[in-house]
Amino acid sequence: MTFVKDVETRGMRHCETTALGVLLRHEGLDLSEPMLFGLGSGLSFVYWDSKAMPIPFLGGRVKPFELTRNLAARLGLTLATEETTSSRKAWENVAARVDAGRPVGLQLDCYHLDYFRSKVHFGGHVVAMYGYDEHEVYLVDTDQQGGAVRTGRDGLARARAERGPMTARNRSFTLTLPARPLNWQEQIIPAIRDCADAFLAAPIANLGHRGIEKAGKLVPGWLLRAAEPRRDLPQAALLMEKGGTGGALFRALYRDFLDECTHLIDDGGLRTGHRLYAEAAGLWTEVSVLIAKAGESGDAGHLEQAGVILRDLSRVEEDAMRVLRQL
């Protein structure tokens, strides 16, 4: 049995920030989850649809692993990434890191993990690995999934090798702090501006505030679109509220990031952005509740109400980002 020493196995709300927290705390940098998310310019939105999906996917963050890349670039961290099509090499890559006394981040499809409570394919899931034995690996996942957990090595291999949307080729990674003193506070305003610029300048109507407006127009038709509304709509609502795919969790994280920033930087625009994202987080929760009710009752009126709120959300988030871009 091999373990990395002095790993704090703290699960947080979002998978990628949970793994980043494990890796960076082991390096000696302890930042809150909202600060990790904000410094990584993690907030975004995408309305993604395909014929193979029971209902469209609402994404509330940047694409998987972009948050990690953004954070590393912003703070001058050394991001060492390994990918391979070989399962043998994939295992050697992570075992070598753990043997050397370092936790390692993994991107994988959570469907194959023994402990995962909801058996849904999602290839953008991220965990931190800190130990292994002959049969199992020891991971840190979100608080919702149990925090410090373990899963079989065979299942982990399948999870890492899975192909499909948002998957990577057995991706593993580590982070190393720069030799110079790290003044992460200086990077807060640039990170906020970059996030606002990307959100407002999204190149297609499925992204950013225009994507939220599009969702407002199309969500009212989900009752007819869903193959099994009583299953599909409550599942979508759960992912939005707890998994963060489309709304409340990531808006709440960004709200908390901006709140933390207002205690470090005295700026009226920052306070306005925080107030608007506090409003947005609450509205996204209302949307998820209405989508779940529509699936449970079969009443399309709930989806109509959700559509109205989404159109309001588009305006609220656009206003917030226009203010934050001017910091």
Tens-digit pLDDT string for the chain (327 aa): 999 999 999 999 999 999 999 999 999 999 999 999 999 999 999 998 887 778 888 889 999 999 999 999 999 999 999 999 999 999 999 999 999 999 999 999 999 999 987 777 889 999 999 999 999 999 999 998 999 999 999 999 999 999 988 899 999 999 999 998 889 999 999 999 999 999 999 999 999 999 999 999 999 999 998 889 999 999 888 878 776 566 688 999 999 999 999 999 999 999 999 999 999 999 999 999 999 999 999 999 999 999 999 999 999 999 999 999 999
Q: Where are the domains of the chain?
A: 2-30+78-176, 184-325
In angstroms, rounded to a whole number, what is the distance separating the alpha carbons of residues 289 and 283?
Answer: 10
Q: What is the CATH number of domain 2-30+78-176?
A: 3.90.70
Contacts of 172 (CB under 8 A, 6+ apart): 81, 82, 83, 90, 93, 94, 97, 104, 105, 106, 107
Full-model pTM: 0.95
Burial of 75 (0-12, 13-18, 19+ CB in 10 A): buried
Token output for 47: 């309305």
